[in-house]
Amino acid sequence: MNACCKRLLPLLLVAASAGAAAQQYPSKPVRVVIGFAAGGSVDLVGRTVAQALAGTYGRPVVVDNRPGAASHIAGALVAASIPDGYTLLVSSQGGLGTNLALYTKMPYNPLKDLTPVTLLVFQPQIVLVNPKVEARNIKELIALARAKPGGLNYGSAGSGGVLHLAAELFSSMTGTKMTHIAYKGGAPALVDLISGQIDLTFQPLPEALPHLRGGRVRPLAMTSAKRSASAPDIPTVIESGLPGFTFTSWMGTAGPAGMPAALTAQISADWNKALNAPDVRPRLIEAGLDIAGGTPEQFAAHMRSEVDAMMKLVKESGIPPVE
């Protein structure tokens, strides 16, 4: 064997090994680590897709909820795992990158320590007001906020969270000032909105839908670029007169850094197929989620662009970093 062949042999063996691993996957149970507690929207997505994959694979796909620390516990666990595709993360945008703009320290770097697999769903926000607020659309809300600087108060699920950031982006783009009231979750903020303790909130659509159907709050607009299939009668903020405004949460799945490209592509294809299964897609849409999907490369580009956008928003809004 000549010197050239000797140099190429290790590379060929690695490529062959990665290809074989992709063809044989999965040969044992797959672990899906979810960065939030059972019962939430991230858990719903991860658990629903995991069940579909288990049926396809004929092997267990075990859901492991590891909530806490802004989903950093789950992310760090997966980042430190063997990159063989048997430990995967399902998380929202914070644990998959955008928390880099908010936290002074993270136990892992999502852009360096994870392998993007698939963008799963978008979770649009909806602008809600208490029925007593004298605004029936976004133009009227902007006019009211401009007439009463600081007079409108809005609730969020916590300082620096996506609901807070969505409202701050809205204020920045409209030149208005509203008073922020931070809660320990979106549900308490919604309770106070219904009771009239706060005027408005930006709320995830899945959590708002039951209250919309009950008429306890007034919907003004969706923050997504397009109308939601779950609430097609509600216009977007852009349609309502604020060009360029979009703010949508998202969820995705990733593995540890270093996963072979062939294996990552196969797992991505499996998750895309499960997302669109007849017993999965309608359930997620009914819950107020918009199906995404796509390749690992597309998801990697999305993660990077979202981190850049969040860093710009945090800087311009003057939101203090989280220790």
The CA distance from 58 to 321, in Å, is: 45
For residue 61, the enclosing domain spans 30-121+248-317
- How confident is the model over 135-192, as pLDDT tens digits? 999 999 999 999 999 999 999 877 767 888 889 889 989 999 999 998 877 788 889 9
pLDDT tier at 71, thresholds 50, 70, 90: confident
| H or E segment and range at residue 85 | none
Report whether pLDDT(3) > 60.
no
The CA distance from 98 to 172, in Å, is: 19
Q: According to the model, what pLDDT value does residue 14 have?
A: 44
| H or E segment and range at residue 154 | strand 153-156
Please indicate, yes or no, whether residues 117 and 255 belong to a single structural domain of this protein.
Answer: yes
The CA distance from 213 to 80, in Å, is: 43
Please say whether the beta carbons of 127 and 171 come within 8 A: no
- Mean pLDDT computed over 56-80: 93
Please indicate, yes or no, whether residues 186 and 139 belong to a single structural domain of this protein.
Answer: yes
Distances in Å between the alpha carbon of 140 and those of 146, 224, 242? 10, 19, 12
pLDDT tier at 207, thresholds 50, 70, 90: confident
Q: Is 106 exposed, middle or buried (0-12, 13-18, 19+ CB in 10 A)?
A: buried
Please indicate, yes or no, whether residues 253 and 299 belong to a single structural domain of this protein.
Answer: yes
Domain boundary among 175, 207, 222: 222
Q: According to the model, what pLDDT value does residue 1 have?
A: 53
- How confident is the model over 285-304, as pLDDT tens digits? 988 898 999 999 999 999 99
CATH number at residue 172: 3.40.190.10
Please indicate, yes or no, whether residues 36 and 113 belong to a single structural domain of this protein.
Answer: yes
Please say whether the beta carbons of 90 and 45 come within 8 A: yes
Eight-class DSSP state of 320? P
Looking at the domain assignment, is residue 234 inside a domain?
Answer: no
- How confident is the model over 235-250, as pLDDT tens digits? 999 999 999 998 888 9
Looking at the domain assignment, is residue 159 inside a domain?
Answer: yes
Please say whether the beta carbons of 102 and 44 come within 8 A: no
Domain boundary among 204, 222, 240: 222
- Within 8 A by CB and 6+ apart from 174, the residues are 142, 145, 146, 242
Please indicate, yes or no, whether residues 130 and 216 belong to a single structural domain of this protein.
Answer: yes
| pTM of the model as a whole | 0.79
Count the domains in the chain. 2
The CA distance from 61 to 69, in Å, is: 25
By percentage, how much of the chain surpasses pLDDT 70?
92
- How confident is the model over 17-42, as pLDDT tens digits? 444 555 689 999 999 999 888 877 88
Domain boundary among 222, 256, 291: 222
Looking at the domain assignment, is residue 271 inside a domain?
Answer: yes
Q: Is 141 helix (H, G, I), strand (E, B) or coil?
A: helix
Please indicate, yes or no, whether residues 117 and 256 belong to a single structural domain of this protein.
Answer: yes
The CA distance from 155 to 249, in Å, is: 17
Residues paired with 254 in a beta bridge:
89, 116
Please indicate, yes or no, whether residues 141 and 97 belong to a single structural domain of this protein.
Answer: no
Please indicate, yes or no, whether residues 111 and 163 belong to a single structural domain of this protein.
Answer: no
Residue 72: count other Cβ atoms within 10 Å of its Cβ: 22
- With tokens 């699920």, the residue in question is 157
Looking at the domain assignment, is residue 11 inside a domain?
Answer: no
Please indicate, yes or no, whether residues 82 and 96 belong to a single structural domain of this protein.
Answer: yes
Looking at the domain assignment, is residue 73 inside a domain?
Answer: yes
